[in-house]
Amino acid sequence: MKTLLLTLLLLAGCASGPVAPDWQMNAHGALTASTSAYLEGNERLAVTELARARSEISRTARLDLLARVELSHCAAQVASLEFGPCTGYDALASDAGPAERVYADFLAGRWDALDAAALPPQYRALVLTKGDASAFSTMQDPLSRLVAAGVLLRRGRLTPDGIDAATEAASAQGWRRPLLAWLGLQVGRANAMGDTVTLQRLQRRMAMVSGQKP
């Protein structure tokens, strides 16, 4: 997750010297804490830390950096299969730079004429290959993989193997929110196929994650 957040925030080069200013370190720490809390299902802490990240960025009057914070939050939503509008970013879109606009289009699944070179590096091969499974499967960062899976699902290009891989990526990290979402997707697939054995196993997993007796 640290890899993705560092890439999204893109604060390198903003400092005037080799030592990062306090706002930069504080913003990154708050954004990391917010994303972790969100993925773990701790909504209250996620909101609090996101507000702290916004506050730190506001000290710079850099609207483009604030847009990146909002995109980071929207990426966690996509990883959790929450495909609503990215309202925080939308309010700042007119002040966003080219990189932010490209990433916003990527998250929304608008890949036509997308400049892959302007994306965070972990997603470039995915776009260049139009969602090829090999580009997805080689992603090492678990949050990047979940974000990519969510976008591919949004575009109708995610394979059953990809759904399984996303589910297990969330499981390995103990991220309740996306795990429940991806397990729910698998439940729907098993139900549609009439696979009662798999359906019951998935329901037991969901009950366990939800704190219920399997």
Q: Would 136 be classed as within a structural domain? A: yes
**How much is the pLDDT for 20?**
75
pLDDT band at 11 (very low <50, low <70, confident <90, very high): very low
Amino acid in position 156: G
HSE-CB for 197 with a 13 A CA cutoff = 0
Evaluate if residue 160 carries a pLDDT over 70.
yes
Q: How far apart are CA 151 and CA 172, in angstroms?
A: 20
Evaluate if residue 7 carries a pLDDT over 80.
no
Q: Would 154 be classed as within a structural domain? A: yes
Evaluate if residue 158 carries a pLDDT over 50.
yes
Q: What is the DSSP letter of 151?
A: H
Q: Would 109 be classed as within a structural domain? A: yes
The mean per-residue pLDDT over the stretch 157-164 comes to 92
Q: Would 23 be classed as within a structural domain? A: yes
Q: Would 126 be classed as within a structural domain? A: yes
The mean per-residue pLDDT over the stretch 77-97 comes to 95
**How much is the pLDDT for 13?**
41
Q: Would 49 be classed as within a structural domain? A: yes
Q: What is the DSSP letter of 114?
A: -
**How much is the pLDDT for 78?**
97
Where is pLDDT greater, at 73 or 133?
A: 73
pLDDT band at 132 (very low <50, low <70, confident <90, very high): confident
Cα dist from 189 to 181, 186, 194, 208, whole Å: 13, 5, 9, 20
**How much is the pLDDT for 191?**
95
Number of domains making up the chain: 1
- H or E element in which residue 94 lies: none
Q: Would 214 be classed as within a structural domain? A: no
The pair phi, psi for residue 211, each rounded to 5°, is 85, 15
Domain residues for the domain of 168 are: 2-209
Q: Would 39 be classed as within a structural domain? A: yes
pLDDT digits (tens, 9 = 90+) for 86-95: 999 999 999 9
* Structural tokens at position 157: 């290009």
Mean pLDDT, all residues of the chain: 89
Q: How far apart are CA 208 and CA 59, in angstroms?
A: 43
The mean per-residue pLDDT over the stretch 49-63 comes to 95
